Structure formats: structure tokens, C-alpha cells
Structure 1
Amino acid sequence: MTYLSMTVGHCGDYSVVSLEGELDLASRQQFCQALDHMLTRPSPKIILDAAELRFCDSHGLWALITRQRDAEARGGCLRLIGVHGPLARLLTVTQLVDLFPPYADLDHAAT
């Protein structure tokens, strides 16, 4: 069974979503619903902390891409911190590192 836990906090103008578990087909809807709520605001600024994300498949990646596009379309952004393991490999293999540049930490992502 897929497990995804999301904790939401704030850092300045940014919503910070800490992910723990797996972002895949089974958890994608939960993830999308949570972010879609944040994306209704004007100029949504979201930082996803993937430090505790253990797995991400193509469904999870597509959810990230579409939410990134939605944020930019509304004048905001979606940034990633703590990228490692399967998500880092997936971003490298799909050549999406430019879309999701790695930020060292929360302070760098929130500037």
C-alpha cells in the first residue's frame, strides 16, 4: 500500500509542503488535491520538501510538472528542495532538472 504524508507550513510568502513516503499512481490524487487548493491563490509560491520522499514514479513526476505549469500560469512557482534518490534519478533521466533546479535548502528556495 502506498503511503504519502504531507505537512504544510509557511516560510515568508511560500507554502512549504513536506512530503514523506511515495508519490505514485496511488497517491497522486491526494497530492494533486492538496496542491490544487494552494494553486487557487494569486501568484502561488510553493516549495516541496522531498527529503523524506522515498519513491516517485512517472505519475508522480507528471503531477509535479502539471502543478509547476499551473503555478507559473498564475504568476507563481513550484520549487523543490531535498531532492535525492529515485526523484533525483527521474529528473536526471527525463532531463527535467532545468524545470526543477535543485535548491540547497529552504532559505535558498524562498529567495
Structure 2
Amino acid sequence: MTHSSPLILTVRHPADSIAVLHVSGEIDVDSAPVLRTRALELIREGRPHLVLDLAPVEFCDSSGLNTMISILRYAKDRHGSLSLAAAPPHLTRLLDITGVAHVIPTLPTTAEALHRIVRPGDSVEGLETP
């Protein structure tokens, strides 16, 4: 019997219109709706720019990929964005093979994802500036 890791979501708000959603565990048919619900709530709460920090994700299936695309569409409809950050190698490979990496910006770190969103002069917690 396999033991699946529960999905754990942690949020931080580095700027007024941005949320970083730290995702750990497994994104599958059972947990993907939880991720989608939380991400859409953040966007509705006025944080249309969302970064998913995927570093500790252990597994992601097609339900997870579909959820990410759904979140992207919802964010774009509200003049926002979705970026993926720190995806582990197994997830990066899945994103590349399926073409999702061409649709959703995928960056090596959360700081780089935030840098992509932030306009010059904005103050953002956790963003290293050169």
C-alpha cells in the first residue's frame, strides 16, 4: 500500500496584488480541487498575480496540470497572472513534456517569479534586488 503525502498550502503576501502559494505534498485528482479553490480565493481577494512555489511537490498528475491551466485562465480574466516557481525535476519534466511550461511561466526560484511580476519601484517582501 502506498502512502500519499497530503497537500499542504501556505500563503504569503509579498505585495498588495501578489500572493505566493507554497504547495507541498501531492497534487492529484483528490487534492487538485483544494489547490484550485484556494488559488481562486486569493485572486478574488484582490491578489490577481499568483506564484505557485512547487519546490516540495512530490507528485503531480494530469488533474494538477489541468488545475494550473484553470488557475491561469481565471487570473488572466481578472488582469492577473500565474507563475510557477522552483518545480522539482520530475515536475519540470512533466511541464515540459505536456507543453504546460510554454503556457505558464516556470522559473527556477520564487524570487525570480516575483521579479517577473513586479514593476520597477514597487516594494516586495522577499525579492532580492541587485
Tell me the TM-score normalized by structure 1. 0.90
Deviation string, structure 1 residues 9-47 (Cα, Å, up to 9, x no partner): 022231011011000101012111111211214560111
User: Which has the greater radius of gyration?
Assistant: 2
Q: Which deviates the most, 33-42 or 15-24?
A: 33-42
What percentage of residue pairs aligned between the two structures are identical?
30
The residue number in structure 2 matching 1:10 is 13
Which one of the candidate residues 44, 48, 51 is aligned to 1:44?
A: 48
Deviation at 1:107, TM superposition (A): 2.2
CA contact (8 A) 1:42 1:75 kept: no
Greater relative contact order, per chain length (Cα 8 Å cut-off, separation 6+): 1
RMSD, aligned CA: 1.6
Structure 2: give runs of 5+ residues left out of the alignment: 116-130
Which residue identity lines up with residue 20 of structure 1 in the other structure?
A: S
Deviation string, structure 1 residues 38-91 (Cα, Å, up to 9, x no partner): 121456011110000011000010000010111011100011111123321211
Which one of the candidate residues 88, 102, 107 is aligned to 2:106?
A: 102
Number of aligned residue pairs: give it: 111
Structure 1: give runs of 5+ residues left out of the alignment: none
Structure with the higher strand share, 1 or 2: 1
Which residue identity lines up with residue 48 of structure 2 in the other structure?
A: P
Which one of the candidate residues 68, 76, 93 is aligned to 1:64?
A: 68
The residue number in structure 2 matching 1:33 is 37
Tell me the TM-score normalized by structure 2. 0.78
Correspondence 1:53 to 2:53: no
CA distance in structure 1 between the aligned counterparts of 2:112 and 2:33, rounded to whole angstroms: 29
